[in-house]
Structure 1
Amino acid sequence: MNTPQTRRLQRTRSDRMIAGVAGGLAKYLGIDPVIMRIAFVIVGLMNGIGVVIYLVLWLLMPNEDAESTTNNLDVAIDEMRAMIEQLVARIRDLFR
């Protein structure tokens, strides 16, 4: 007896520009990731809610290779912290 494969909403590791949210949503919906990225940019520029939605999804969506026992919120916060540290280091290097 074959059980149907359930699709899960997950952030991608392979199709990632920032956190893999747009890539994961695109994979889940079966569309091109560029369309999702453009949608986030448009909604973000219109009223800023796109940025908030992206950040919330980053916190809530697990990585595609995450184990079920992993606390996704802690992983996402660690990723955000690392990305902010890299950004601060780049900005600091610009002013040296």
Structure 2
Amino acid sequence: MKNKLKKSRTDKSISGVCGGIAEYFGISSFGVRLLFLFLPANVLIYLILVNTMPDTPRSL
């Protein structure tokens, strides 16, 4: 598997979690943000992902 779940460097509003999930699945980041908005435990899940998802490495 080549794609790994990582925070996005380009599509981020807070820390890049939703942008990274959107890039991984090939969908719109707006849809992922809406999904987080309506999840019951959205803050807890987001905080866990912010701390566990690796950053995208910098490119030259």
User: Does TM-score exceed 0.5, indicating one fold?
Assistant: yes
Q: What's 1:12 paired with? A: 8
Structure-1 separation of matches of 2:54 and 2:42: 19
Amino acid at match of 1:13: R
CA RMSD of aligned residues (A): 1.3
The 5-angstrom pairing of residues 1-96 of structure 1 reads 6-43=2-39, 47=40, 49-65=41-57
Q: CA deviation at 1:13?
A: 1.1
Structure-2 separation of matches of 1:50 and 1:31: 19
Q: Structure 2 length as normaliser, TM-score?
A: 0.89
Give percent identity, aligned residues only. 36
Q: Report the count of equivalent residues.
A: 58
Q: Structure 1 length as normaliser, TM-score?
A: 0.57
**Structure with greater Cα Rg:** 1
Unaligned runs of 5+ in 2: none
Which ranges of 4 or more aligned residues in structure 1 deviate by more than 4 Å? Answer: none
